[in-house]
Amino acid sequence: MYLSNFDEVKFPMKNKNHSSLVIIDDDVDLLDLLSAFFRQRGYKVSTFEDARLALDEIESKKLIVDAVISDLKLPVMSGLDFIKRIRTFNSVLPIILMTAEGSLEIAVEAIEAGAYDFVLKPLHVPQLLISVQRALHLNSIQAENANLKNLFNEQDFLGLKGIIGKSAGFKKAMELARRVSSSQASIIIFGESGSGKEVVAKAVHELGERKSGPFVAINCSAIPENLLESELFGYAKGAFTGAVGNKLGLFEEANKGTLFLDEIGDLALPLQAKLLRVLQERKIKRIGENQYREITARVICATHKDLKKEVEKGNFREDLYFRLNVIPIYMPPLRERKEDIIPLSEYFLKKFSLLNNANIKGFTKNAIKRLESLAWKGNVRELENAIERAVVLSNSEFVDVDDLPDLEVESLETKNLGEPKSNALFSINTIMSLEDMNKKYIEFIFKKNGFAKEQTAKELGIDRKTLYRKLKEPETSEVLLQ
């Protein structure tokens, strides 16, 4: 049986490909055969009998190519030399070598020179097709990674990747971070939840001498007091029931690096005393041990609380406050630095559309207006979540108002809690246990506040720790995924 073309039954051509291939072989029969085979599958094919000519075209960018198939044994320039020359200016272009020499040494040499694959002659053309498809897939992943890298390089601040902002408040905080990065002074970062306190702490770490050491972060309000102590200081084997081995504490883990203690305002008083001692003496003792160990980590603290007020209320030790408050850095909430909203939104849009393989180019005018007018109670974190969601939901090339969360409408609903609405807290017909209602109510307020924990805890009249605990309960935590 002869088909007018290639055997369509075995090699369906559904997924037409528009990639461009260069095929190099001095065997014109094979050149003809391969170019016909790939053209029928939608590839753009350029053929060469001489590798030098192909090299010139690729190097001068006259030819934009996604993958190359080349014979190894060629009269003027061998396939191996061709690869070596290509690699001097392009490290990612996949090159598949074909050869009638089946020796392992040649295969190894080819791969070492930078060939993506090695196909033996006589060719099994479908096998070559698979190799080409794989190479192109790999190439697209590499291109995506390179794009992401470029994005981070492009948008950097103070040479740091992925830190965006141009408002005066943001610049002031970052400039201060830069200046203190080379000093040993104690730093405390103030700012609302999600405003970028950890970003500042990381910047201090990255810009200073400790850059090559670890950056270790812990949220003091998210961990129960007794566990926090062993997390920070570590313990010796047998220090308490369950201490089956020695455990390194975070102070030690962050050796030669930075330990970031977030929500320091929520630290219990006994631990505050211990922290003060560590900061003064630069030594720690693991729980259950008598021996002191020197610590070299730089400690950076942060809080959303007004520590001065906490001192007045007796919740925070005054001596620790003075010890920490040598250089305070204040990161303003997003609503007070509106100039940052659009640059941040554009950055997150690029980032998430690359990550999700979505071809989203920007925002509509209305979406921009909306972004600028929202309160962003959960600050940059909330904005980041909103843009990620919009990228996933958007059906067009431009994110529109409808793709953005309905934050203002939701806050109106809270004012009218009594009226049953489709997405209101609960309907009149629903009978719930008190416990379930409690959980639902916490979820509701948390969502209404754009996942800002501080505001939620405040409105509910509970402390942040209780809120964290409630949010960690399995039934409640699903709200975080919405």
Ligand X SMILES: Nc1ncnc2c1ncn2[C@@H]1O[C@H](COP(=O)(O)OP(=O)(O)OP(=O)(O)O)[C@@H](O)[C@H]1O
Opening angle at CA 17, ends 19 and 393, nearest 5: 100
Asked if residue 5 binds other proteins (CB under 8 A), the reply is yes
Q: How many CB atoms lie within 10 A of CB 290?
A: 7
Asked if residue 203 binds other proteins (CB under 8 A), the reply is no
Interaction mask 7-46, other proteins, x per CB under 8 A: x--xx--------------xxxxx-xx--x----------
Q: Which does 418 bind (CB under 5 to 8 A by kind): other proteins, ligand X, none?
A: none
Asked if residue 6 binds other proteins (CB under 8 A), the reply is yes
Give the span between the Cα atoms of 189 and 172, in whole angstroms: 13
For 260, the 3-state DSSP assignment is strand
Shortest distance (Å) from residue 245 CB to ligand X = 30
Our CB check for ligand X shows the closer of 181 and 195 to be 195
Our CB check for other proteins shows the closer of 36 and 143 to be 36
Give the span between the Cα atoms of 325 and 192, in whole angstroms: 17
Q: Which does 380 bind (CB under 5 to 8 A by kind): other proteins, ligand X, none?
A: ligand X
Our CB check for other proteins shows the closer of 129 and 437 to be 129
Our CB check for ligand X shows the closer of 117 and 262 to be 262
Query: Which residues of the shown chain bind ligand X in the complex (CB under 6 A)?
Result: 162-165, 191, 193-199, 262, 304, 344, 380-381, 384
What is the H or E stretch that residue 219 is in? strand 215-219
Shortest distance (Å) from residue 170 CB to ligand X = 6
Give the distance from CA 300 to its chain's centroid.
22
Our CB check for other proteins shows the closer of 36 and 326 to be 36
**Amino acid identity, position 355:** L
Interaction mask 42-81, other proteins, x per CB under 8 A: -----------------------------x-x-x------
Which among 266, 142, 245 is positioned nearest to 193, based on CA atoms? 266
Backbone φ, ψ for residue 404 (5° rounding):
-90, 150
Q: Which does 378 bind (CB under 5 to 8 A by kind): other proteins, ligand X, none?
A: none
How many residues comprise the chain? 482
**Amino acid identity, position 472:** K
Considering only the stretches 122-130, 204-212, 330-338, 469-477, report the one whose residues sit in contact with other proteins under the rule CB under 8 A.
122-130
**Residue 428 corresponds to which tokens in the numbers above?**
């009149």
Contact 226, 184 (CB under 8 A): no
Cross-strand bridge partners of residue 261: 218, 301
Q: Which does 4 bind (CB under 5 to 8 A by kind): other proteins, ligand X, none?
A: other proteins
Our CB check for ligand X shows the closer of 196 and 332 to be 196
Give the span between the Cα atoms of 307 and 470, in whole angstroms: 25
